[in-house]
Amino acid sequence: MTDARKPWVKPSIVMHRSGMVNKFGSVQRSQWQDQLAGVSVAALVEEHGSPLFVISEQKLRDNARHLLHAFATRYPSVRYAWSYKTNYLGAVCRALHQEGAWAEVVSGFEYEKARSLGVPGNEIVFNGPHKTRSSLERAIAEGARIQVDHLDELYLIESIARETGRRVPIGIRLNYETGYTENWSRFGFNVESGQAMDAAWRIANSDSLELKWLHSHIGTFVLDHRAYGAAARIVAGFMNDVEQKTGCEIDAIDIGGGFASHNALQGIYLPPEQVVPSLDQYAEEVCTPLLEATYERVARGRPLPTLILETGRAVVDDAESLITTVVANKKMPDGRRCVIVDAGVNVLFTAFWYNHQITPTRDLTGAPEETVIYGPLCMNIDVIRKSILLPPVRTGDTLIVSPVGAYNNTQWLQFIEYRPRVVLVHGEAEVSVVRERETLATVTELEQLPPHLAPTDHDGQSPDPSR
Amino acid sequence: MNARPDNPGPGLAVAHCLRETDIFDGRIVGLGYEALDPGLHLPEYCDAGYLLPYPSAGDSTFLERIALIKEREQIDALIPCLDAELPSVTRLLSEIERMGIATYLPSPDQLELRNKDRLEELAAHAGIEAPRTKPVADAQFFFECTRRGWEFPLVVKGLFYDAAIVRSPDQAVTAFKRIAAQWGLPVLVQEFLEGEEVNLTGVADGNGRLLSPVMMKKLALTDKGKAWSGITVSDDTLLEASRSLVERTRWRGPLEVEVMREPDGAYRLIEINPRFPAWVYLTAGAGHNALDTLLRLMRGERLDCEEPAPAGVIYLRYAEDTILPLEEYESVVMNGWRTPLEPHQESSP
Amino acid sequence: MSELQFSEESLLPDAATLERLALSSSGFLFDPVSGHSFTLNETGRDILKILQETRDLKALKQQLSDEYDLDSSTLDRDLLEFLGSVRDQLRRP
């Protein structure tokens, strides 16, 4: 039986305001996709529930290869260390380790996780301002590549080295003005003030420490690729300087991470395709000054320092998406439409600084309207998108939020709702669960109830008001 | 078009010049970003008017819109008149040309040269000095800057737009924070220049030649600092600087060169714009219609008009009211174009 | 689900307001009193057009059910929201 009636679209009325008149009336087409990494979104939700994180293993590997290719074609000795804090789901780490990546960790927990995933100590770069004595003891014993953040850590490592009778190779983290970024001066030793050189002197004068690496990490989501040119010049300049003054031999320069992904940072006017530099542009900026600064040492027969990359976001971000489902439509008193979805900022921390791409999973008819997308939490801050042009959606419609691979699966928190499943698409559209949805048991597992607070048979009855 | 009552864009003036060239009598389609842009509505300058998506809407939306306008209006050439749209247009040049739309524009590399933090490089090409400029990422700079040779007053500038003259560290920090919040880091600090601004416009042929140069000095300013009257001048230093810049960068397409002539006679490069200025109609008035030159270059003609326009021609800008029927406003708001189409042309949304 | 009992008087824009509105087939709506203009989508335009002819909620619902593919609870829900929004927008200075 065919129904000749027209499809119903939620009726809408939008007032024209000067300077804000919708450019194309109703001719704007909506873009949609009903598959993720070759798997039907409907089938994924049917099988694994909503919300649902979906990782594409192929995309992850392609991104890592692209990164290495961009740098290795410009500089002969490149090593990639996977930044655990960006996404330390075992499946993500293992896929990248299979691609030859070392681990870059910033805490005792991350160190343990990398070891448990089969990474040998000497392939772990150990960064961060808080390394406990016990984690340092283990890292030193296992030959990890420790990069020192402050003098207290330096002295701690030296005392461990003396106790164990070892000579410990270390790196120091540098901070400096690139002229293009705000200096993260809270991390590492400052170059301009002479602090970094003082630390290098201190290491040179130690009988149990040896300065072998220089580390820097200029910032996060750095959109001006020239900042990396400045960084490489400054770090390589410091290397030549420190070798000459203290007699050390630097064999690796770790340029850190910070490359932007194709996400739309809030407050940046132009879309990512117009402002985010390509990996090749970043690579060109880093490698050219490195080659220039090391020309002399190569002429003197010394090997080039290995260039270490800690790229996190630009590798994993667009390899993961979040499927979420519309639970309600609302009209705000100011005339804006709002949509409530089942994924909140507790699993999508990056919604605080990105305008994530929101893609419908069917061809939405009707004119796009300014819409706010709220999460399901009973919290005013739970906003997924403050403003997006979206045609009307129905409850039960699914939306794809992307890219979400960086930081969400590490910074998420269990709050009000259970955290959802994470699945990995691999091979010929095969889907594997790589993190199970939480249950009441997982959430309460670590809790303990003192006996006098334990539930009893009387529970459920009204309390005696006289007590 | 980018025409605003308080900050006129070059679009209408470009259309005005096009109307007065000898070699063009075709249709002019005005492209704008706002339903009330007069450039969409004035039939004496534009035969049709279309809204464009803002560059922030992304490349595919922009290209779809251009394709639709091409299909409906059979446009042959595109003349961007707004700084912010040039990066998109140059980046998408091959797609635009594949649609059969001609352009005459600088390359993406040439456009990048005019980034505000590359001014010194640009000035070197012009053979004159640039005002000393420093990118600053930390507001602390302003409390130490006098020790580093940066005396107040200073100009604090955003990477793309916005500038403020500041006379103390506190003023500087306030301006720094406001500008950084809107345009991001770094913020540029520039020495404050005293003197008189002189501007030049013309078209560069991509082979190092600057054609039909016209130089202008502002005669009167609005309270927003925009010129509402100016006079053609003949300034050899500006002309030579512009020629040198065009020759050494192999600039292609329209440009405006802005310099400051200081009281001691020194010249400093302020900036160059990769498009015609809002005062471009003065070129027609001075007998050097810049659009005539541009169209001839687009046709592949070989031109010799390298001599500057004569001095002493004055332009005067004025505002005028026009009537906009509700139906026309409705058409722009609902369809994104001004001209009502014949029924058989109606394309489905 | 039982049909909601709308209070017609409070839900609908008043007759004088409906009468003065200039509604075009494109969905462009102009209010000559406030000077504001609006964009309605197709469904919104149809609803106002019907209301300009008959300010009768029952007839409106019947006509919409005939023309559109939808169930009565969706219709009730969307009408409740839309008419509230229309009343509110037309009241603005």
In this prediction, residue A19 carries a pLDDT of 53
Considering only the beta carbons, identify the residue of C67, C78, C88 that sits closest to A11: C78
Size of the A and C interface in Cβ pairs below 8 Å: 81
Is C36 inside a domain boundary? yes
- pLDDT tens per residue across span B19-61: 999 899 999 999 998 888 888 889 899 999 999 987 777 788 8
Q: Do B137 and A21 touch (CB under 8 A)?
A: no
Q: Do B137 and A18 touch (CB under 8 A)?
A: no
Structural tokens at position A297: 């040492």
Domain CATH code at residue A389 = 2.40.37.10
Which residues in B lie closer than 8 A to residue A186 (C-beta atoms)? none
The answer on A290 and A242 residing in a single domain is yes
In this prediction, residue B85 carries a pLDDT of 85
Closest CA–CA distance from residue C31 to any residue of chain A (Å): 11
Of A262, A259, A263, A274, nearest in space to A225 by CA: A259
Q: Do B329 and C39 touch (CB under 8 A)?
A: no
Identify the DSSP state of A117.
T
- pLDDT tens per residue across span C60-82: 999 999 999 999 999 999 999 99
Q: Do C69 and A6 touch (CB under 8 A)?
A: yes
The answer on A275 and A134 residing in a single domain is yes
C neighbour chains, 3+ CB pairs within 8 Å: A, B
Structural tokens at position A397: 């419609």
Is A104 inside a domain boundary? no
For residue A464, pLDDT over 60 is answered with: no
Question: Rounded to whole angstroms, how far apart are CA atoms A12 and C38?
Answer: 10
Tell me which residues of chain C have a C-beta less than 8 Å from any C-beta of chain B.
22, 24, 26-28, 30, 37, 39
What does the pLDDT average to over B187-200?
91
Q: Residue A193 sits in which domain range?
A: 127-311
The answer on A337 and A306 residing in a single domain is no
Q: Do A27 and B53 touch (CB under 8 A)?
A: no
- Checking DSSP bridges between strand A52-56 and strand A320-331, what pairing results, if any? antiparallel
Cβ proximity of B122 and B114 under 8 Å: yes
In this prediction, residue B347 carries a pLDDT of 41
What does the pLDDT average to over B223-233?
87
Helices and strands in chain C: count of H runs, count of E runs: 5, 4
Identify the DSSP state of B30.
E
Helix axes A279-293, A226-246, angle to 10 degrees: 30
| Residue B166 bridge partners (DSSP) | B154
Residue position matching structure tokens 């001599």: B307
The answer on A262 and A227 residing in a single domain is yes
Helix axes A151-164, A133-141, angle to 10 degrees: 50
| Residue A432 bridge partners (DSSP) | A424
- pLDDT tens per residue across span A368-417: 888 999 999 999 999 999 988 888 899 999 999 999 999 999 999 999 99
- pLDDT tens per residue across span B134-146: 888 888 889 988 8
CATH number of B11-103+321-345: 3.40.50.20
Tell me which residues of chain A have a C-beta less than 8 Å from any C-beta of chain C.
3, 5-16, 22, 25-26, 329-331, 333, 335, 366-367, 392
Is A445 inside a domain boundary? no
Structural tokens at position A312: 């996190």
Per the prediction, chain B carries an average pLDDT of 89
Which residues in C lie closer than 8 A to residue B333 (C-beta atoms)? 28, 37, 39
Whole-number percent of chain B with pLDDT over 70: 94
In this prediction, residue A243 carries a pLDDT of 96
In this prediction, residue A28 carries a pLDDT of 44
Structural domain total, chain C: 1
Per the prediction, chain A carries an average pLDDT of 92
Q: Do C70 and A8 touch (CB under 8 A)?
A: yes
- pLDDT tens per residue across span A327-354: 999 988 877 889 999 999 999 999 999 9
- pLDDT tens per residue across span B90-102: 989 999 999 999 9
In this prediction, residue A466 carries a pLDDT of 54
The CATH classification of domain B110-115+194-316, taken from the options 1.20.810.10, 3.30.470.20, 3.30.300.30, 1.20.1250.20: 3.30.470.20
- Residue A179 CB neighbours (<10 A): 17
Q: Which residues lie below 8 Å from residue B12, measured CB to CB, with a gap of 6+? A: B1, B3, B30, B38, B39, B42, B45
Question: A265 vs C8, which has greater pLDDT?
Answer: A265
Structural tokens at position B349: 């949304």
Q: Do B329 and C27 touch (CB under 8 A)?
A: no
Is A207 inside a domain boundary? yes
Q: Spell out the domain ranges in chain B.
A: 11-103+321-345, 110-115+194-316, 132-191
CATH number of B132-191: 3.30.1490.20
Structural domain total, chain A: 2
Q: What is the dihedral of CA A79, A85, A87, A90, to 10 degrees?
A: 80
Dihedrals φ, ψ of A91, to 5°?
-65, -40
The answer on A283 and A187 residing in a single domain is yes
In this prediction, residue A21 carries a pLDDT of 52
Is C42 inside a domain boundary? yes
The answer on A380 and A276 residing in a single domain is no
- Please state, in angstroms and as integers, the Cα–Cα distance from residue A286 to each residue in A226, A282, C83, following that order: 9, 6, 60
Question: Rounded to whole angstroms, how far apart are CA atoms A192 and A198?
Answer: 11
Q: Which amino acid is present at B1?
A: M
Of A390, A339, A395, nearest in space to A369 by CA: A390
- Please state, in angstroms and as integers, the Cα–Cα distance from residue A436 to each residue in A48, A52, A380, A432, A439, following that order: 9, 10, 28, 10, 9
Structural tokens at position B65: 């819109």
Q: Residue C38 sits in which domain range?
A: 11-91
Q: Which residue of C has its CA nearest to A335?
A: C85
The answer on A135 and A39 residing in a single domain is no
**Which contacts of A440-449 are long-range, i.e. CB under 8 A and separated by 24 or more positions?**
A442/A418, A443/A414, A443/A418
DSSP code per residue over B245-288: HHHHHT-EEEEEEEEEE-TTS-EEEEEEESS--TTTHHHHHTT-
Provide ipTM, 2 decimals: 0.91
Considering only the beta carbons, identify the residue of A7, A331, A333 that sits closest to C81: A331
In this prediction, residue A105 carries a pLDDT of 98
Q: Does C42 touch chain A (CB under 8 A)?
A: yes
Q: Which residue of A has its CA nearest to C77?
A: A10
Which residues in C lie closer than 8 A to residue A3 (C-beta atoms)? 69
Is C47 inside a domain boundary? yes
Q: In which band, very low, low, confident or very high, does the pLDDT at B159 lie, cut at 50, 70 and 90?
A: confident
The answer on A304 and A281 residing in a single domain is yes
Whole-number percent of chain A with pLDDT over 90: 79
Q: In which band, very low, low, confident or very high, does the pLDDT at B235 lie, cut at 50, 70 and 90?
A: very high
Q: Which residue of C has its CA nearest to A366?
A: C41
In this prediction, residue B199 carries a pLDDT of 96
Q: Does B319 touch chain A (CB under 8 A)?
A: no
Domain CATH code at residue A214 = 3.20.20.10
Closest CA–CA distance from residue C35 to any residue of chain A (Å): 11
Is C5 inside a domain boundary? no
The answer on A137 and A253 residing in a single domain is yes
- pLDDT tens per residue across span A67-123: 999 999 999 999 999 999 999 999 999 999 999 999 999 999 999 999 999 999 999
